[in-house]
């Protein structure tokens, strides 16, 4: 069977597993890049174009779910993410899906099945190129970097769009402050609490078009989208 060559980012910190996956996919004449850390994965995923990202849940620097959320918020397109993990409890799988994962494979896995799942995800993505994020009347088009509330376009800063995209992609769950900070500034955040300023400006922009109290502050955690949000930062 002839296979279309796919471009895959393998995010796996275990060297033996990473080598096995990369070697198998290379044998299919697919293009593969490898990242052993969450920071490198986010950097590659936001600079390069991949058909599918294989993402290990356990990474040495950033939790895999936070990496998934950051990629979904920052990448130029809504790239499918297949999460790889040794955790097989339902709660762990649910956490992965709520973080934006498109599919889930538990270790150990058959590499042939992994390739088939990659092809299925890439095919699904080609069939649905215009994916949008929608929470109530709030609509985001990540690929076009456009947003609207109802019929009214939103004028968002680059940081504001990233924040809103991350909140939308994880709704109704909260996004931690650390995940938002890393999505905005990576490993080099500003000294001041700039996140609060961006959240404040984003709330004001939403209120100006009728989107009142959409961003809730979750004490000791972060923020989430909800119609009944309390508007303090």
Q: Which of 12, 108, 19, 96 is nearest to 60 (CA)?
A: 12
Q: Check residue 230 and give its pLDDT.
A: 39
Q: Which residue has the tokens 């955040």?
A: 189
CB 40 within 8 A of CB 15: no
pLDDT value for 8: 97
Angle subtended at Cα 6 by Cα 4 and Cα 12, rounded to the nearest 5 degrees: 150
Where the chain has pLDDT below 70, the residues are 1-3, 88-89, 125-131, 186-187, 227-233
Helix (H, G, I), strand (E, B) or coil at 130: coil
pLDDT computed for residue 3 by the predictor: 63
- Binning the chain into helix, strand and coil, the percentages to the nearest 5 are 40, 20, 40
Q: Please give the Cα distance from 56 to 38 (Å, whole number).
A: 9
43 phi, psi to nearest 5 deg: -60, -50
Please say whether the beta carbons of 222 and 165 come within 8 A.
Answer: no
Architecture per CATH, 133-225: Orthogonal Bundle (1.10)
186-194 contacts: CB < 8 A, separation 24 or more?
Answer: 186/39, 186/42, 186/43, 187/39
Domain 7-127 adopts which CATH fold? Rossmann fold (3.40.50)
User: Cα-flanking dihedrals φ and ψ of residue 155, to 5°?
Assistant: -90, 100
Burial of 214 (0-12, 13-18, 19+ CB in 10 A): buried
Could you check whether the bond before residue 214 is cis, i.e. omega within 30 degrees of 0?
Answer: no
Place of tokens 């297949």: 82
Residue 100 pLDDT: 82
Domain boundaries, the chain: 7-127, 133-225
Over the stretch 90-139, which tens digit does the pLDDT of each residue have?
Answer: 777 777 777 788 888 888 899 999 999 898 888 776 655 556 788 888 98
């Amino acid at each position: 069977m002839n296979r279309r060559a796919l471009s895959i980012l393998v995010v796996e910190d275990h060297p033996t597993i990473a080598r096995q996956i990369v070697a198998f996919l290379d044998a299919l004449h697919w293009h593969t890049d490898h990242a052993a850390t969450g920071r490198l994965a986010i950097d590659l995923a936001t600079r390069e174009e991949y058909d599918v990202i294989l993402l290990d849940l356990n990474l040495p620097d950033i939790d895999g779910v936070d990496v998934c959320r950051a990629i979904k918020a920052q990448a130029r397109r809504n790239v499918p993410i297949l999460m790889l993990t040794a955790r097989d409890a339902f709660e762990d799988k649910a956490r992965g899906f709520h973080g934006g994962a498109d599919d889930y494979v538990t270790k150990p896995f058959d590499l042939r099945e992994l390739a088939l799942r990659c092809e299925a995800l890439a095919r699904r993505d080609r069939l649905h190129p215009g994916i949008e994020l929608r929470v109530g009347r709030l609509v985001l088009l990540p690929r076009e970097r456009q947003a609207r509330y109802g019929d009214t376009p939103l004028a968002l800063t680059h940081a504001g769009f990233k924040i809103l995209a991350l909140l939308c992609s994880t709704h109704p769950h909260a996004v931690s402050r650390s995940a938002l900070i890393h999505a905005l500034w990576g490993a080099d955040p500003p000294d001041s609490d700039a996140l609060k300023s961006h959240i404040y400006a984003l709330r004001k922009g939403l209120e100006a078009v009728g989107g009142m109290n959409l961003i809730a502050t979750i004490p000791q955690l972060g923020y989430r989208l909800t119609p009944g949000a309390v508007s303090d930062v």
